[in-house]
């Protein structure tokens, strides 16, 4: 008989999708999530690129995926121990449970870069310097306002905050912030009539499905301004506005711009929870701190330990489409492994 107990660590997009897929394939799944509710980072996003589907819709889909009698959901718990014992895994939760499993799927996702680490951009120092996640919160509340209650007229968007930046310790591109900037720039002009929006970018990385078309639309239909130069610093002016400094590299001259609000495109980092799991289980990580898959082409769901699998953005920055595909592939790998195990 096939032994088929699987534990999934992380109840975000990847974890919920893989749990649902495994349950439908006949596995008994325990899904452990550190927060009180499932959904992970998607909970913080009001609307999603490329089609501006409501984040809530994705959460609803994922919750329907895990609505299965073979899935036991444990929320508000982290993993405190993971050991291999005689062909099976024994996992301790912070709540004191010990769960035995034949296979483990790590789906610990990402943390958003803490933008206060780029002190020169003034997050948590100046009013009205916010992050992409903070802006989503404003969108959800239905209005974009400054701390004094006024509506911003000029908004600067700073790309690559904590990405492609040796000073932040992150050499990699987070891949999703460019398209997030374009999406949010468009949305700002919809929330605020006649708003002037300026994106400061190094490269526009429009590599996903529909990204380039949205970029074009932002220029053509919404009049968003794109300036090629990384913002070097932000300061506050005497009239409590914010001053952006960059080089307009295409014009070849320094550029400054006074704005009411600055939105920082925070990058993605390996989650702290993922780092804990990697240390507990002896899992390899890359120089970018994300989990290093056993093979970049043929084994992106495989770890360096037999029976432990990866799903989603714990291995690299991924959008939701990619995360769901990766999670489905992880489920297929787990099923193969369990079949061979008997």
Nearer to another protein, 31 or 199 (CB): 199
Contact (Cβ atoms closer than 8 angstroms) between residue 268 and residue 176: yes
Residue 145: phi, psi to the nearest 5? -135, 155
DSSP 238: T
Q: 209 is written with which tokens?
A: 């499905």
Q: How far is the CB of 40 from another protein (least distance, A)?
A: 28
Q: Please tell me whether residue 269 binds another protein under the rule CB under 8 A.
A: no
Return the closest-CA partner of residue 244 out of 254, 231, 260, 261: 231
Q: Please tell me whether residue 336 binds another protein under the rule CB under 8 A.
A: no
What does each C-alpha distance from 286 to 84, 172, 177, 292, 294 come to in angstroms? 23, 11, 21, 5, 11
Contact (Cβ atoms closer than 8 angstroms) between residue 242 and residue 258: yes
Q: Please tell me whether residue 264 binds another protein under the rule CB under 8 A.
A: no
Residues 184 and 200: their CA atoms lie apart, in Å, by 13
Segment interacting with another protein, rule: CB under 8 A, options 246-254, 265-273, 284-292, 317-325: 246-254
Q: How far is the CB of 233 from another protein (least distance, A)?
A: 7
Q: Please tell me whether residue 165 binds another protein under the rule CB under 8 A.
A: yes
Return the residue of 97, 116, 212, 248 that touches another protein, per CB under 8 A: 248
Nearer to another protein, 33 or 165 (CB): 165
Q: How far is the CB of 168 from another protein (least distance, A)?
A: 8
Which residues ranging from 61 to 80 are in contact with another protein (CB under 8 A)?
Answer: none
Alpha helices in 147-221 (DSSP H): 177-191, 211-220
Contact (Cβ atoms closer than 8 angstroms) between residue 258 and residue 243: yes
Return the residue of 246, 268, 283, 318 that touches another protein, per CB under 8 A: 246
Nearer to another protein, 47 or 230 (CB): 230
Q: Please tell me whether residue 249 binds another protein under the rule CB under 8 A.
A: yes
Return the residue of 85, 166, 194, 239 that touches another protein, per CB under 8 A: 166
Q: Please tell me whether residue 156 binds another protein under the rule CB under 8 A.
A: no
For another protein, how many residues bind (rule: CB under 8 A)?
24
Residue labelled with tokens 């109840």 = 11
Q: Please tell me whether residue 229 binds another protein under the rule CB under 8 A.
A: yes
Q: List 290's β-bridge partners, or say none.
A: none
Residues 313 and 159: their CA atoms lie apart, in Å, by 20
| Cβ count near 213 (within 10 Å) | 11
Which residues ranging from 19 to 58 are in contact with another protein (CB under 8 A)?
Answer: none
Q: Please tell me whether residue 245 binds another protein under the rule CB under 8 A.
A: yes
Alpha helices in the chain (DSSP H): 13-24, 55-65, 132-141, 177-191, 211-220, 272-281, 320-341
Residues 248 and 233: their CA atoms lie apart, in Å, by 14
Return the residue of 8, 23, 160, 224 that touches another protein, per CB under 8 A: 160
Which residues ranging from 167 to 226 are in contact with another protein (CB under 8 A)?
Answer: 167-168, 202-203
Q: How far is the CB of 246 from another protein (least distance, A)?
A: 5
Return the closest-CA partner of residue 312 out of 303, 298, 325, 296: 325
Q: How far is the CB of 199 from another protein (least distance, A)?
A: 14
Nearer to another protein, 155 or 160 (CB): 160
Return the residue of 60, 232, 284, 321 that touches another protein, per CB under 8 A: 232
Nearer to another protein, 117 or 341 (CB): 117
Return the residue of 37, 119, 120, 295 that touches another protein, per CB under 8 A: 120
Q: Please tell me whether residue 117 binds another protein under the rule CB under 8 A.
A: no
- Count how many Cα atoms sit within 13 Å of the Cα of residue 264 in the half-sphere of its side chain: 29
Give residues in contact with another protein (CB under 8 A).
Answer: 120, 160, 164-168, 202-203, 228-233, 245-249, 252-255
């Amino acid at each position: 008989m096939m032994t088929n107990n699987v534990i999934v660590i992380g109840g975000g997009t990847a974890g919920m999708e893989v749990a649902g897929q495994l349950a439908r394939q006949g596995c008994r799944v325990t899904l452990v999530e550190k927060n009180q509710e499932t959904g992970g980072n998607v909970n913080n996003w009001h609307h999603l690129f490329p089609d501006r589907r409501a984040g809530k819709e994705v959460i609803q889909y994922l919750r329907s995926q895990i609505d299965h009698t073979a899935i036991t959901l444990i929320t508000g718990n982290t993993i405190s121990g993971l050991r291999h014992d005689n062909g099976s895994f024994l996992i301790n939760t912070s709540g004191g449970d010990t769960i035995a499993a034949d296979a483990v799927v790590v789906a610990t996702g990402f943390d958003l870069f803490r933008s206060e680490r780029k002190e020169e951009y003034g997050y948590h120092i100046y009013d009205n310097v916010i992050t992409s996640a903070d802006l989503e919160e404003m969108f959800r509340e239905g209005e974009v306002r400054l701390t004094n209650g006024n509506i911003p007229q000029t908004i600067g968007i700073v790309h690559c905050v904590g990405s492609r930046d040796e000073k932040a310790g992150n050499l990699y591109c987070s891949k999703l912030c460019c398209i997030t900037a374009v999406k949010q720039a468009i949305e700002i002009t919809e929330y605020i009539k006649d708003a002037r929006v300026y994106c400061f970018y190094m490269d526009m990385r429009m590599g996903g499905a529909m990204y380039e078309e949205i970029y074009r639309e932002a220029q053509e239909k919404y009049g968003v301004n794109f300036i090629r130069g990384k913002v070097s610093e932000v300061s506050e002016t005497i009239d409590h506005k914010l001053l952006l400094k960059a080089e307009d590299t295409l014009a070849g001259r320094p550029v400054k711009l006074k704005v009411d609000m600055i939105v920082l495109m925070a990058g993605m980092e390996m989650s702290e929870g993922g780092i804990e799991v990697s240390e507990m289980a002896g899992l390899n990580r890359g120089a970018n701190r994300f989990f290093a898959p056993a093979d970049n082409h043929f084994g992106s769901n495989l770890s360096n330990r037999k029976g432990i699998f990866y799903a989603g953005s714990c291995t690299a920055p991924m959008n939701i489409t990619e995360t769901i595909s990766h999670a489905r592939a992880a489920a297929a790998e787990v099923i193969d492994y369990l079949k061979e195990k008997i």
